[in-house]
Structure 1
Amino acid sequence: MPATQMPQLIFALSVAREMVERERHAEMLVMLIDEALKEAKEEALRHGILVDTEEETKLQ
Structure 2
Amino acid sequence: MVIDLEMKAGECLIFSSLNLHASHSNTSDNSRRFSFVGRCTANHIKVAPYGKDLYST
Taking structure 2 as the reference length, what is the TM-score of the superposition?
0.32
User: Which has the larger Rg?
Assistant: 2
Query: Relative contact order (alpha carbons < 8 A, sep ≥ 6): 1 or 2 greater?
Result: 1
Taking structure 1 as the reference length, what is the TM-score of the superposition?
0.32
Please state which structure has a larger fraction of its residues in helix.
1
